[in-house]
Chains A and B, each alone.
Chain A
Amino acid sequence: MRRRDLFRMGGLAALGAAGAACGSGGGGTGAAGSTELQFMYWGSTFEKAAIEKMLKAFEQKNPDIKVKPVFTPDEYDVKLNSLVAGGRTPDVGYVPMSMSFRLAEQGNLVNLHPYLQKYPQLAGYLPDAYLWYGQDKLHGVSTANEIELLWYSKSAIAAAGLAPPPAVAASAWSWDQLVENAYKLTVDQNGKHPDESGFDPGQVRQFGISISLTYAAAWYGFLRSNGADFADEAGRKCLLDTPESVQVFQNLQDLVYKHRVAPGPGQLAATGDDVPGTNILLKTKRVAMVVDGHWALLDMNESKVDYGIGVLPKYGEPFTTSQVAGASSVFAGTKHVEEAVELFAFHIDPRYVDLYKQGLWMPQERKYYEDQAAIDSWTKNDAHPPEFRTAVVDYGRDHGVPDLRNRVKNLSAISSDVLTPALQELESGKRPAAEILKAVTPKITGMLQGWQHTQEP
Chain B
Amino acid sequence: MNKPGLSGQRRLERRWGVLMALPAILGFVIFTAGPMVASFVFSLTDWQVGGTPEFVGLGNYTELARDELFWTSLSATTYYTLGAVPLVLIVSFAVAMLLNQKVRGLPVWRTIFYLPTLVPAIANVVLWIWIFNPDFGLLNSLLRQAGLPAGQWIYDESMAIPSLIVMSTWGFGNTMVIFLAGLQGVPRHLYEAVSIDGGGAWRRFWHVTLPMMTPTIFYNLVVGVVGTFQVFNQAYVMTEGGPNNATLFYVYYLFRMAFRESEMGYASALAWVLFMIIVVITFLLFRNARRWVYYEMAGAR
Same assembly = yes
Say what secondary structure dominates the interface of chain A: helix
CB contacts (< 8 Å) of B238 on chain A: these are 272-273
Q: Using an 8 Å CB-CB cutoff, how does the interface string of A406-430 with B read, 1 for contact, 0 for none?
A: 0000001100110011101101101
CB contacts (< 8 Å) of A270 on chain B: these are 129
Interface residues on A, range: 35 or more
CB contacts (< 8 Å) of A428 on chain B: these are 152, 155-157, 243-244
Beta-carbon nearest neighbor of A412 in chain B: B261
Beta-carbon nearest neighbor of B52 in chain A: A106
The answer on a CB contact under 8 Å between A416 and B260 is: yes
Known: A85-B49, A266-B152, A271-B129. A424 touches B261 (CB 8 A): no
CB contacts (< 8 Å) of B150 on chain A: these are 202
Q: Using an 8 Å CB-CB cutoff, how does the interface string of B231-242 with A read, 1 for contact, 0 for none?
A: 000000111101
Q: Compute how far the CA of A78 lies from the CA of B239 in the bound complex, rounded to whole angstroms.
A: 17
CB contacts (< 8 Å) of B226 on chain A: these are none
CB contacts (< 8 Å) of B260 on chain A: these are 77-78, 81, 98, 412, 416
The answer on a CB contact under 8 Å between B244 and A424 is: yes
CB contacts (< 8 Å) of B69 on chain A: these are 417
The answer on a CB contact under 8 Å between A85 and B50 is: yes
Q: Compute how far the CA of A427 lies from the CA of B242 in the bound complex, rounded to whole angstroms.
A: 11
The answer on a CB contact under 8 Å between B237 and A272 is: yes
Q: Using an 8 Å CB-CB cutoff, how does the interface string of B261-279 with A read, 1 for contact, 0 for none?
A: 1101000000000000000
Known: A266-B152, A267-B134, A269-B133. A99 touches B243 (CB 8 A): no
Beta-carbon nearest neighbor of B240 in chain A: A273
Q: Which of B145-162 contact A (CB under 8 A)?
A: 150, 152-157
Beta-carbon nearest neighbor of A75 in chain B: B259
Tell me, yes or no, whether B256 is within 8 Å of chain A by CB.
yes
Q: How many residues of B contact A (CB 8 A)?
A: 35
The answer on a CB contact under 8 Å between B242 and A102 is: no
Q: Compute how far the CA of A267 lies from the CA of B153 in the bound complex, rounded to whole angstroms.
A: 12
Beta-carbon nearest neighbor of B264 in chain A: A85
Beta-carbon nearest neighbor of B130 in chain A: A270
B137 to chain A, nearest CB (A): 9
The answer on a CB contact under 8 Å between B242 and A421 is: yes
Known: A99-B262, A272-B237, A413-B261. A264 touches B155 (CB 8 A): yes
Q: Using an 8 Å CB-CB cutoff, how does the interface string of A372-414 with B read, 1 for contact, 0 for none?
A: 0000000000000000000000000000000000000000110
Q: Which of A266, A271, A421 contacts B155 (CB 8 A)?
A: A266
The answer on a CB contact under 8 Å between B243 and A424 is: yes
Q: Which of B152, B156, B239 contacts A273 (CB 8 A)?
A: B239
CB contacts (< 8 Å) of A412 on chain B: these are 260-261
Known: A85-B50, A272-B238. A265 touches B243 (CB 8 A): yes
CB contacts (< 8 Å) of B133 on chain A: these are 266-267, 269
Q: Compute how far the CA of A84 lies from the CA of B51 in the bound complex, rounded to whole angstroms.
A: 9
Beta-carbon nearest neighbor of A87 in chain B: B50
B156 to chain A, nearest CB (A): 7
B258 to chain A, nearest CB (A): 8
Tell me, yes or no, whether B15 is within 8 Å of chain A by CB.
no
CB contacts (< 8 Å) of B51 on chain A: these are 106
Q: Using an 8 Å CB-CB cutoff, how does the interface string of A64-84 with B read, 1 for contact, 0 for none?
A: 000000000000011001101
Q: Compute how far the CA of A81 lies from the CA of B267 in the bound complex, rounded to whole angstroms.
A: 14
The answer on a CB contact under 8 Å between B243 and A416 is: no
Q: Using an 8 Å CB-CB cutoff, how does the interface string of A254-288 with B read, 1 for contact, 0 for none?
A: 00000000001111011111000000000000000
Q: Which of B126, B155, B259 contacts A78 (CB 8 A)?
A: B259
Q: Compute how far the CA of A271 lies from the CA of B133 in the bound complex, rounded to whole angstroms.
A: 9
Known: A265-B152, A266-B133, A417-B69. A81 touches B242 (CB 8 A): no
B265 to chain A, nearest CB (A): 12
Tell me, yes or no, whether A103 is within 8 Å of chain B by CB.
yes
Tell me, yes or no, whether A204 is within 8 Å of chain B by CB.
yes
Q: Which of A98, A417, A425 contacts B157 (CB 8 A)?
A: A425
Q: Which of A204, A271, A416 contacts B256 (CB 8 A)?
A: A416
Q: Which of A84, A265, A430 contacts B49 (CB 8 A)?
A: A84
Tell me, yes or no, whether B3 is within 8 Å of chain A by CB.
no
Known: A424-B244, A427-B243. A106 touches B48 (CB 8 A): yes
Tell me, yes or no, whether B214 is within 8 Å of chain A by CB.
no
The answer on a CB contact under 8 Å between B237 and A77 is: no
Beta-carbon nearest neighbor of B260 in chain A: A77
- Among B50, B126, B135, B157, the one with the most A-chain Cβ atoms within 10 Å of its Cβ is B50
Q: Which of B49, B129, B156, B264 contacts A272 (CB 8 A)?
A: B129
Q: Which of B119-155 contact A (CB under 8 A)?
A: 125-126, 129, 132-135, 140, 144, 150, 152-155
CB contacts (< 8 Å) of B261 on chain A: these are 412-413, 416
Q: Which of B144, B155, B244 contacts A425 (CB 8 A)?
A: B244
The answer on a CB contact under 8 Å between A430 and B157 is: yes
Which 3 A-B pairs have CB atoms at the shortest separation, nearest pair first? Answer: A266-B155, A265-B155, A424-B243
Q: Interface of B with A (CB < 8 Å)?
A: 48-51, 69, 125-126, 129, 132-135, 140, 144, 150, 152-157, 237-240, 242-245, 256, 259-262, 264
Q: What are 23 inter-chain pairs, A to B, with CB distance below 8 A?
A: A77-B259, A84-B50, A99-B262, A102-B262, A103-B50, A202-B140, A266-B134, A266-B152, A266-B155, A272-B125, A272-B126, A272-B238, A272-B239, A273-B238, A273-B239, A412-B261, A413-B261, A422-B244, A424-B244, A425-B243, A427-B243, A428-B152, A428-B157
Given A81-B262, A106-B48, A264-B134, 4 new contacts (CB under 8 A): A82-B259, A108-B50, A265-B152, A416-B256
